[in-house]
Amino acid sequence: MMMARAIRLRRHAIQACALAFVWLACGLVARPAAAQQAPTIAAPQAILVDFDSGTVLFERAADTPNFPASVAKMMTMAVVFREIAEGRLTPDSEFKVSEYAWRRGGAPSGGATMFASLNSTIKVGDLLRGAIIPSGNDATIVLAEGIAGNELAFTVKMNEEAKRLGLTNSHFTNSNGLSDPDQKTTARDLSRLAAQIIRGYPDLYKIYSEPDFLWNKIRQNNRNPLLGMSLGADGFMTGYLKESGFNLVGSAVQNDQRLIVVILGAKSEKERAEDARKLLEWGFRSFESRLLFDAGETVGEAVLYGGEQGNVPLTAAGPIRLLEPRNGTERVAARIRYEGPVHAPVEKGAKLARLEIMRGEQVVLEIPLVAAQSVPEGPLWRRAVDGAYELVVGLLREGYAKLAAKLPVKLG
């Protein structure tokens, strides 16, 4: 049973309150004026996320499934990048262009292609550029066949990697995003995938910013329209299918702040580019970073069953920051969720819970929490007392909470 854990404020904005046997923290951060209103966009699905903190700055139908089209290639790249990072592949490895890859994704297909020649042998580094910059379908198929033997077997790797990265609403059936009714993703999942690629493979991510690609004496420009908008954009892709509309995933950096934007289902190339530009400009202009917890600082406590002590302190892997609107009135709520009670013994660093920060009903930030210390199993009498307590109290309540938190917000 997931239990919301109440927050006891050490200073400033959150006051604990009980609701339906579940404790949660409620707080009001006072601001002198309303925050700048979010821009009007046309796309039916979109999300804007701060990279460092994970704060969701804007979302619209971000969990509604759609066909990814060519942005599915990001998942292919995540698999290939991991193969390289873990030493099973190098940029100098070579794969042969099969007839299937040539016909399905090459020049005869009439779609996006790197113009790979039939039966030629191409280095992985060139295939990566062919897949990313001109969005070549042939390049992704050659990579898939070279790594897994065939494209179907490669999609197993794609879905395993998607699961590992926490993409809970995505399913992939090919390496390139060509039309398939069973292939789906969401704006939120794509923003998470983008963040994982940037964070996990910073050197390989740089390929996404390269302006053009020359192969077989044919030079093709990068298809990402954000690269030429003076936004600080440095990566990701576009896609289009009749079934999906016009899709875009992009990332940009200004003043050491990185934002990730996803647009799905736009009606035209112009619309998706303008929607992405509006959200990025608004995000950079309208938000500021606030430190909630320093690295290693105790965020709260999880109730412990049968331990040497009655609870275990929780902390995050690094500092916890939240992006907040400049000059706005914000209602901020926070809670810790975990499966409980936690059973002793507990090892330091064990993942036990997650911190959720909300504006209204919207969860804008989720951070995994781990045990800040090891707690051994307690004596027999302690386990007996805890067992009796859980037997009685468990019948009377849905959730029980005890945690400590702070929001160091400067008012005014």
For residue 127, the enclosing domain spans 65-225
Structure tokens given for 340: 């409980």
Among residues 135, 170, 175, 191, which one is catalytic? 135
Orientation angle between helical segments 73-85 and 151-164, nearest 10 degrees: 80
CA distances from 398 to 94, 358, 363, 369 (A): 58, 21, 21, 22
Place of tokens 């926490």: 166
CA distances from 216 to 115, 122, 203 (A): 7, 11, 26
pLDDT at 401: 41
Q: Is the same domain home to 211 and 306?
A: no
Answer whether residue 258 is part of any domain: no
Residues 188 and 97 in one domain: yes
242 is catalytic: no
Give the residue among 359, 246, 365, 218 at the shortest CA–CA distance from 299. Answer: 365
pLDDT tens string 241-254: 999 999 999 999 99
**Of the residues 73, 157, 278, 406, which is catalytic?**
73
Strands (E), 296-372: 300-305, 311-315, 320-325, 330-339, 342-343, 351-359, 362-371
User: Are residues 10 and 70 both part of a single domain?
Assistant: no
Q: What CATH number is attached to the domain comprising 206?
A: 3.40.710.10
Residue 210, domain member (yes or no): yes
Domain count along the chain: 2
Does residue 338 form part of some domain? yes
For residue 50, is it within any domain?
A: no
**For 13-84, where are the E strands, in sequence order?**
14-19, 22-29, 45-50, 56-60
The answer as to whether 53 is a domain residue is: no
What's the whole-number mean pLDDT along residues 248-271?
97
Q: Is residue 230 part of a domain?
A: no
For residue 96, the one-letter residue type is K
In a domain, 193, yes or no: yes
Determine which of 13-17, 154-158, 186-190, 285-289 has the lowest per-residue pLDDT on average.
13-17
Same domain, residue pair 194 and 125 = yes
> With 50 as the cut, is the pLDDT of residue 257 above it?
yes
- HSE on the CB side for 216, CA within 13 Å? 13
Q: Are 306 and 387 in contact (CB under 8 A)?
A: yes
Catalytic, out of 70, 98, 170, 191: 70
Residues 71 and 29 in one domain: no
Taking the alpha carbons of 233, 236, 238, 243 in that order, is the dihedral positive or negative?
negative
184 catalytic? Reply is no
Percent of the chain with pLDDT over 90: 66
Kindly report the CATH number assigned to the domain that includes residue 387.
Answer: 2.60.410.10
Any domain includes 270: no
Specify whether 27 is located in the same domain as 131: no
70 in catalytic set: yes
pTM reported for the whole predicted model: 0.78
